[in-house]
């Protein structure tokens, strides 16, 4: 089963900008620098984006507004489609939840 990964980078940039505006400047800067570095392969990029988003969500925990969290989770779902484990299946199941954000 093959699922094309949608381009989530505009949504990621939007979420980072909103996080900065919401007062998460340092964490947003760290996410941006980790997410938009140079990568050798697309699989490396997807893995690093996923790890950076997970770190950001862990640092901000419950203080992050829901709208920003939803955008980041949509991006995270797309990155997990590249994984060959049960996470890929879970990402496929959750993908519909965030479909309207990635149009």
- pLDDT score for 11: 94
Q: For the chain, which residues make up each domain, given as ranges?
A: 9-102
Query: Within 10 Å of residue 10's Cβ, how many Cβ atoms?
Result: 10
Q: What pTM did the predictor assign?
A: 0.82
Nearest Cα neighbor of 42 from 85, 3, 92, 79 is 79
Render each residue's pLDDT in the chain as its tens digit; 103 residues: 456 888 999 999 999 999 999 999 999 999 999 988 888 888 889 889 999 999 999 999 889 999 999 999 999 988 888 777 767 667 766 777 766 676 6
CA 87, chain centre distance (Å): 14
């Amino acid at each position: 089963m093959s699922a094309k990964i949608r381009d989530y980078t505009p949504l990621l940039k939007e979420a980072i900008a909103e996080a900065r505006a919401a007062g998460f400047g340092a964490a947003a800067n760290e996410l941006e620098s980790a997410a938009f570095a140079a990568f050798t392969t697309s699989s490396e990029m997807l893995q690093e984006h996923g790890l950076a988003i997970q770190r950001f969500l862990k640092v901000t925990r419950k203080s992050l507004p829901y709208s920003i969290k939803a955008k980041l989770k949509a991006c995270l779902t797309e990155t997990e489609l590249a994984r060959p484990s049960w996470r890929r299946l879970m990402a496929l199941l959750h993908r519909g939840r965030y479909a309207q954000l990635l149009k």
